[in-house]
Structure 1
């Protein structure tokens, strides 16, 4: 990546962090981190990581939301990185391993709330991760079951992104709505019973 692109991507990461902070994603028991890497076991290779642009963690370091940024237009690469990050969040020191450290049983499945930003245009996702999907990634096998990721893009008649006030107003409404949706999914895997 050339230095100008890296600088622009860093600026978008800072913007994403500030948007999440201003809109209340960071609370007493939740905090935002940027960038953040977590181990990803893929094809039995323990040296892989998922680099998250921004993520939200709870006080136990359980991963609540992950956000991936890509400066150049085209969402396929950033979506693949986002799904890899969601799987890593399920697999390792986030979520299932943290639960086991706390004496809790690991989850058979969870839905990870995710956000991507391509340039300054956000998209929102719910990524279901199951034990069989995680095991397929670990072993380098094709998953036996289909995984359907839900995606919501900000509806807009504008060509730009959040630099346009009209788009930004609508995008902020999506972020606020997504926070409630994400919280309904956190509550399922933060339930420590």
Structure 2
């Protein structure tokens, strides 16, 4: 839908319309996982308890990062992220749909686009690190008591927001299952390269 109108918006204001305008779809996979008390502080503490943070990485809450869309600077507000010294490794977005009608999928994808740009800006300043043409971000949205896991690959072409990407970007959305949340959170760490 290259004809769809794209307007500058902060990552938190993205909706399903922006996903269509940038040719992004989310496809279903095998499982959707559940856990009690899906709030930002609980999520951050859970990630710490599962040792997502270690000597090389840290859990951040409410991290605002610059977000360029349609040639205008904006901000993507990440609820929780895991960062090492140089880069954002994982993103988590609380699903506020029960209280504010915000859909977390477009927001987490916008945040991944912003994280891609931030990671590459940091790489530009370090002569030992090459720029990335694509980055797969492990992402989680917390919908009520239900975490939903994503692997979202952002490319350099998609990062240049404001233009329609001829190449479709696909996220991953698991299907329903209420078991194995802690085991899956532990296994999800492999996407951080740990």
TM-score by length of 2: 0.74
- Give the alignment partner of residue 108 of structure 1, picking from 94, 119, 133: 133
SS at match of 1:133: helix
Tell me if structure 2 keeps the 8 A contact 1:86–1:129.
yes
Match of 1:160 in 2: none
- Give the alignment partner of residue 173 of structure 1, picking from 141, 158, 183: 183
Whole-angstrom CA distance in 2 between matches of 1:152 and 1:100: 35
Whole-angstrom CA distance in 2 between matches of 1:70 and 1:76: 7
Structure 2 counterparts to residues 72-91 of structure 1, below 5 A: 72-73=97-98, 77-91=103-117
For residue 35 of structure 1, report the CA deviation from its aligned partner: 0.8
Higher relative contact order (CA 8 A, sep 6+): 2
Does structure 1 residue 31 correspond to structure 2 residue 58? Answer: yes
Number of aligned residue pairs: give it.
156
Q: Name structure 1 gaps, 5 residues minimum.
A: 1-10, 157-166, 188-193
TM-aligned CA distance change 1:56 to 1:78, over 3 Å: same
Whole-angstrom CA distance in 2 between matches of 1:35 and 1:77: 17
Tell me if structure 1 keeps the 8 A contact 2:95–2:102.
no
Whole-angstrom CA distance in 2 between matches of 1:125 and 1:76: 18
Indicate the structure with greater helix content. Answer: 1
Tell me if structure 2 keeps the 8 A contact 1:69–1:117.
yes
Whole-angstrom CA distance in 2 between matches of 1:154 and 1:22: 25
Does structure 1 residue 183 correspond to structure 2 residue 177? Answer: no
TM-aligned CA distance change 1:76 to 1:145, over 3 Å: farther
The alignment's C-alpha RMSD in Å is 2.2
Tell me if structure 1 keeps the 8 A contact 2:97–2:104.
no
SS at match of 1:41: strand
Q: Name structure 2 gaps, 5 residues minimum.
A: 1-37
Tell me if structure 2 keeps the 8 A contact 1:37–1:50.
yes
